[in-house]
Amino acid sequence: MGRATARILGGAGLCTSISLVLAGCSLATEPMPPAALVPDTPAGAEAAVAASAPAPVLRDSPPLDVTSPRSDPLPPTVSCEYPRSGSPARPVALPPEKDVAAAGFATVRLELRRGTVPITLDRSLSPCTANSFLSLAEQGFYTSSVCHRITTRGVYTLQCGDPSGTGTGGPGYGTPAEFPADQATIDGERRSTAPTTYPRGTVAMETTAGGNSGSRFFIVFDDSPLPPSYTIIGTVDASAMWVLDAIAEAGPISGHSGAPIRPVQIIGVELDR
């Protein structure tokens, strides 16, 4: 199977003022244990958890292990749905919906001013979400956008993927939750929704109302306890984590959560399918 490579680059930058980035720092989440982590969790946890709430919870079930493969392997290809939702931060076409690959890997390289961050997307985990991410990258949706938020206490994430820089924008459509959220029910009974560990290097999607994801994603730069409601799409190459460590060391403008003190811009994106 041949490999296609695409490179999408931007200009000098989308965001020229810190105030634009700060507008995305008031992302609320519903309280969840431990309470100290609430301000630093990516947006939408409560919506994703509530989406499947009617199912009874299995007693004494351990937290989901997000490093394990799917318990139900997918066929080689799947069909996806991308329901329209809101106005796009940038105009984009919907991703392909039929014959979407559900096996294999793709590489996305985010070119930041600090360095290049290679991400390996695992189609076997979340094929529809990976398909959306690749489609947005190919259409230049992420190019010249800024990472709007960093959290450095309890939960350790760099949050990106909104060209508006506010932390509330998206592509104008949603993608239903995939791994690990879709592994939370066994024979009609629901596993524990207690926080599990999203390991260092994990790349996952923020959730929106109804539990869907859009374009916003986050990179975990240190092991973080989070509910298993954030769709995982892949991992950052371990050799590139120094880029995230440098961003984390500089930290947010104030406190432990907010816009990075040194603006983080995605200059361009390279794809290897």
Domain ranges of the chain: 21-55+74-261
The whole-number pLDDT of residue 38 equals 32
Q: What is the mean pLDDT of the segment spanning 69-83? A: 94
What's the average model confidence in pLDDT over 236-252?
A: 97
pLDDT at 28: 32
The rounded percent of the chain whose pLDDT value lies above 70 is: 75
Tokens linked to 101: 């690959």
**Architecture (CATH level 2) of domain 21-55+74-261:** Beta Barrel (2.40)
pLDDT value of position 136: 98
Note every long-range contact of 49-54, with CB atoms under 8 Å and residues 24 or more positions apart, other chains counting.
49/193, 49/211, 49/227, 49/229, 50/211, 51/177, 51/210, 51/211, 52/181, 52/184, 52/185, 52/190, 52/211
- Residue 249 CA to residue 117 CA, distance in Å, equals 17
- Which secondary structure element, helix H or strand E, spans residue 149, and what is its range? strand 149-153
**More confident site: 166 or 5:** 166
d(CA 272, CA 224): 29
Q: How far apart are CA 180 and CA 227, in angstroms?
A: 10
pLDDT digits (tens, 9 = 90+) for 148-204: 999 999 999 999 999 999 999 999 999 999 999 988 766 566 666 778 999 999 999
Greater confidence (240 vs 43) lies with 240
- Backbone torsions φ then ψ of 40, nearest 5 degrees: -105, 5
pLDDT over 80 at 261, yes or no: yes
Q: Give the pLDDT of residue 184.
A: 75
pLDDT above 90 for 19 = no
Rounded CA-CA distance 109/272 in Å is 8
More confident residue, 249 or 11: 249
pLDDT mean over 205-218: 92
Distance between start and end Cα atoms, the chain? 10
Q: Model confidence over 95-124: pLDDT tens digits?
A: 999 999 999 999 999 999 999 999 999 999
Higher pLDDT, 109 or 25: 109
* pLDDT at 29 > cutoff 90: no
pLDDT beyond 60 at 30: no
78-95 mean pLDDT: 96
| Lowest mean pLDDT across 41-50, 162-171, 251-260 | 41-50
Residue 48 pLDDT > 70: no
